[in-house]
């Protein structure tokens, strides 16, 4: 497990899936705002590719996010679009509704940066988020991400086009939030 100040990032457990499905992916508004595809219902018991981890996919690493004090599941985090040639990747995360507004997002981004830069040896991390997603923008900027541009009307969300903000962080501009991230199990 990778540990930050308040959260840990660990592998996905089978019993995480029903919670993440019910709290995040079955929520039409949340899912529509966070996915690049339109929301669609998933049959109960189906292997939802957003939740079930494919350990053979080297370009996508999925974590379950847990509270360090007690191990409670608080969300999901990913490093996706990993490009080993250009040494870059994208960051994504989703927190359960009851876990938002507690600073977990900033901690998750910090731990994902450590994973991307230290463990994977990447040069660049990138975040794309809706322009009105103040929590993600704040979490990214607190970790040193810089706004690099706005993709005007690039996301179709529940009947309207919305702007997306593109943020980037290079390894040489990164300042770790913690001296050392704990890699223990």
- How far is 64 from 14, CA to CA, in rounded Å? 11
Mean pLDDT along residues 30-39: 81
**Model confidence pLDDT, tens digit, residues 95-112:** 999 999 999 999 999 999
**Model confidence pLDDT, tens digit, residues 60-85:** 999 999 999 999 999 999 999 999 99
**Percent of all residues in the chain with a pLDDT value above 70, rounded to a whole number:** 94
- How far is 100 from 150, CA to CA, in rounded Å? 25
**pLDDT given at position 182:** 53
Sign of CA dihedral 119, 95, 52, 128: negative
Mean pLDDT across the chain: 90
Give the H or E element holding residue 112. helix 104-114
pLDDT tier at 49, thresholds 50, 70, 90: low
User: Closest Cα partner for 149 from 132, 136, 131?
Assistant: 131
**pLDDT given at position 33:** 87
Going edge to edge, which strands form the sheet with 160-170? Answer: 2-3, 7-10, 60-67, 73-83, 88-95, 124-130, 160-170, 146-157
Mean pLDDT along residues 1-14: 95
Residue with tokens 């040494």: 87
Under CATH, what is the fold of the domain 2-173?
Answer: Aminopeptidase (3.40.630)
**pLDDT given at position 184:** 54
pLDDT tier at 30, thresholds 50, 70, 90: confident
pTM of model > 0.85:
yes
């Amino acid at each position: 497990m990778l540990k930050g100040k308040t959260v840990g990032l660990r592998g996905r457990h089978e019993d995480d899936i029903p919670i993440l499905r019910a709290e995040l992916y079955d929520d039409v508004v949340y899912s529509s705002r966070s996915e690049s595809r339109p929301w669609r219902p998933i049959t109960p018991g189906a292997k939802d590719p957003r939740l079930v981890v494919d350990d053979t996919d080297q370009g996508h690493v999925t974590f379950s996010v847990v509270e360090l004090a007690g191990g409670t599941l608080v969300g999901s985090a990913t490093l996706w679009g990993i490009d080993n040639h250009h040494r870059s990747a994208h960051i994504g995360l989703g927190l359960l509704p009851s876990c938002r507004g507690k600073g977990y997002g900033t901690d998750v981004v910090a731990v994902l940066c450590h994973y991307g830069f230290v463990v994977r040896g990447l040069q660049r991390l990138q975040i794309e988020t809706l322009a009105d997603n103040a929590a993600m923008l704040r979490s990214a900027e607190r970790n040193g991400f810089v706004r690099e541009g706005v993709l005007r009307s690039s996301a179709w969300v529940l009947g309207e086009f919305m702007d997306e903000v593109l943020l980037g962080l290079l390894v040489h501009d990164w300042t770790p939030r913690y001296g050392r991230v704990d890699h223990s199990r």
